[in-house]
A and B are shown apart, each in its own frame.
Chain A
């Protein structure tokens, strides 16, 4: 069996994180957690991850979006697939007037709404990892 995939979750709600992490760990993923953007960015720099699970509204506002933008500018991290998990689908349009409800932050990303059912979560994670792998193989 191949190495377990390593995921990082950045979300400031420890209870919510626990509910997501339990599902992912049960599905044999390795999950690291950061409860704020600073620790999250630090973790991304210090370790290689296969996928990032990202909250939008953290700390003083839409900090998740700042993280996503930073990733987009980073030559390596821009290829990291991102699953945005947010409770504020309707607010996305509010935060980004004129943009689609699902704005593409980084080339490989997806969005699900909080709370997310286990099946849907695992499907999305799997699909993103698969796409990312295919891209990697292509560029080689």
Chain B
């Protein structure tokens, strides 16, 4: 039996090793870590089921095909329930054996690939923060350090304008370092952890802060940001910092894809049990084909105006932050006309308890 099977299978594509009982078989499994195991259920000594259990325990991903001597469906099914990949009832033809071997090996290959890919993905995610923080932050840190040193060394020798420009350089670099830092936080840290510090917050506050953050950028492009808050605006449960980050992302995108001398609208309003915040621009717009992928990692639309840079993470991060808040983020866009991004957040029902500080600056 073993010999004939070996004859059928052995060749350029596979190497076959045989064992005449369960104990020997398990030893071979440990030594060879085979891609595929054929296991007779009826053997002297250790039973096929025991061997199967041990293999599954040690190597949960190893493909095992049981050979059922009795040709009873029940024992085959029991074996499958215990994790066998497939079964082969005796007697079988060489063709049947080849076919099932092929399938088994294919399965084993796919499982191994999946495991490798999953591990790679996990490693990439875990190490992303480490890699990016060193590779990106190190050169920026070195530049900033020298700006500090130069400012110190040149103190008293610079004109007011030069001193101002040095100060601006330091601020810009500092902003950049902070941005990298906050993105890293989102990528490497579990966004769900934000929930631990959730409290009722005012979306209007986040909106004001976000507009302040991008104001300089907007002025430089001569773009007017027009905020409007429709009162009364219920609070939402969340993290003000990260909601501000989302709005900064959306406003940043709007600025990036807007034409100079245009307007960007930011509107917060209540609608049913939700608070809606929308950012509307009259910029280049987004192609319909790009819309479904917009909130995925590292995706940027086709319509890229000259000089626009970015890694395509902003919207993916924003989506994650909004989802942690139990909300959604949607987009409507028309190429050449502009885009509107809308955040939908569950509102806190208006009651004195959940709205302890009713005064709100807008």
Contact = CB atoms under 8 A, between A and B. Distances in A.
Interface string B110-150: 00000000000000000001100110011101111111111
Interface string A13-46: 1011011101100100000000000000000000
B3 interface: no
A115 B133 contact: no
Contacts of A118: 148-149, 151-152
Interface in B149-184: 149-153, 177, 181, 184
Contacts of B129: 90-91, 94
Contact of A117 (B146, B148, B153, B184): B148
B288 interface: no
A10 to B, nearest CB: 15
Given A90-B129, A90-B133, A91-B130, A114 B141 contact: yes
Contacts of A23: 148-149, 152
Task: Give chain A's interface secondary structure class.
Answer: helix
A20 B181 CA distance: 22
Contacts of A87: 133-134, 137-138, 141
A19 B138 contact: no
Contacts of A117: 148
B141 A16 contact: yes
A88 interface: yes
Residue from A18, A19, A22, A90 with most neighbouring chain B CB atoms (10 Å): A19
B185 interface: yes
Interface in B24-40: none
Contacts of A20: 145, 149
A15 B146 contact: yes
Given A22-B152, A90-B184, A115 B138 contact: no
A19 B144 CA distance: 8
A20 B134 CA distance: 18
Interface in A69-91: 87-88, 90-91
A116 interface: yes
B163 to A, nearest CB: 15
B29 to A, nearest CB: 34
A94 B130 contact: yes
A57 interface: yes
A26 B130 contact: no
Contact of B152 (A15, A16, A26, A88): A26
A88 B133 contact: yes
Contacts of B138: 13, 16, 57, 87, 114
7 contacts: A16-B141, A20-B149, A23-B149, A87-B141, A91-B130, A94-B129, A115-B144
Interface of B: 129-130, 133-134, 137-139, 141-153, 177, 181, 184-185, 188
Given A19-B145, A116-B145, 19 more contacts: A13-B138, A13-B142, A15-B139, A16-B142, A19-B144, A19-B147, A20-B145, A22-B146, A22-B149, A22-B152, A23-B148, A26-B153, A57-B134, A88-B137, A91-B130, A114-B138, A115-B141, A117-B148, A118-B149
